[in-house]
């Protein structure tokens, strides 16, 4: 199987597109996908963050890119094939730890177990949780992403004064190509009134 065909198959199977800037690297029996760098320039991230922070203090967790989801899919596939949940649990616990490290910097006095309990309750009930004098809300922010593409598109037109002819030319075209959404865990809190 040639490299281009295999790369295209990997992209279709894993849901990764070349437009996202991530091209799978293929060796003998392994497909490796590099993690995308997180940028806000071509997304609605700032708008989403602004909306979520109105009147709230927000602590942002790990930004989940398509590379993270591909890693998770790989962990799930490995777990299913081996009939062992270990690889998935290792990946999932790693992501939970990444988020906890970021959040614990802002909530050093709260125990990890209590905080997990409050977060699970907020996520499950999809509403604000009240604790002592705080409102606590947890969720996932979704960022729409796109890439601006400018290219010269070949076209034709009628030309000639006496004799009807068709003349080729190119027109500059600008399009917005949608990229996979990114998700970011957040916890927000505010003093109760």
Which helix or strand (DSSP H or E) is residue 11 part of?
helix 3-14
For the segment 83-99, what is each residue's pLDDT rounded down to a tens digit? 888 888 888 888 878 77
> Could you tell me if residue 26 is inside a domain?
no
pTM metric for this prediction: 0.61
> Could you tell me if residue 24 is inside a domain?
no
Average pLDDT over residues 142-168: 87
> Could you tell me if residue 121 is inside a domain?
yes
> Could you tell me if residue 16 is inside a domain?
no
> Could you tell me if residue 175 is inside a domain?
yes
Of the pLDDT bands very low, low, confident and very high (cuts 50, 70, 90), residue 32 is low
3-state secondary structure of 132: coil
Domain extent, residue 114, equals 35-191
For the segment 95-110, what is each residue's pLDDT rounded down to a tens digit? 878 777 777 777 777 7
Rg of the chain taking only CA atoms, in angstroms: 24
DSSP H helices in 55-173: 66-82, 86-104, 112-125
How many domains would you assign to the chain?
Answer: 1
CA 133, distance to chain mean position in Å, is 34
């Amino acid at each position: 199987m040639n490299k281009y065909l295999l790369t295209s198959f990997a992209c279709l199977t894993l849901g990764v597109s070349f437009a996202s800037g991530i091209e799978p690297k293929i060796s003998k029996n392994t497909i490796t996908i590099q993690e995308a760098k997180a940028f806000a320039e071509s997304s609605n991230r700032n708008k989403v963050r602004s909306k979520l922070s109105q009147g709230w203090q927000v602590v942002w967790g790990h930004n989940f890119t398509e590379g993270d989801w591909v890693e998770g899919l790989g962990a799930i596939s490995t777990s299913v094939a081996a009939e062992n949940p270990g690889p998935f649990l290792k990946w999932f616990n790693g992501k939970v730890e990444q988020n906890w490290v970021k959040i614990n910097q802002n909530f050093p006095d709260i125990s990890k177990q209590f905080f997990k309990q409050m977060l699970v309750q907020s996520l499950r009930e999809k509403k604000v949780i009240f604790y002592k004098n705080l409102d606590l809300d947890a969720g996932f922010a979704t960022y729409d992403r796109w890439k601006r593409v400018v290219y010269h598109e070949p076209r034709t037109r009628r030309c000639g004064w006496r004799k009807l002819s068709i003349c080729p030319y190119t027109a500059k075209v600008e399009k917005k190509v949608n990229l996979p959404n990114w998700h970011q865990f957040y916890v927000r809190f505010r003093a109760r009134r």
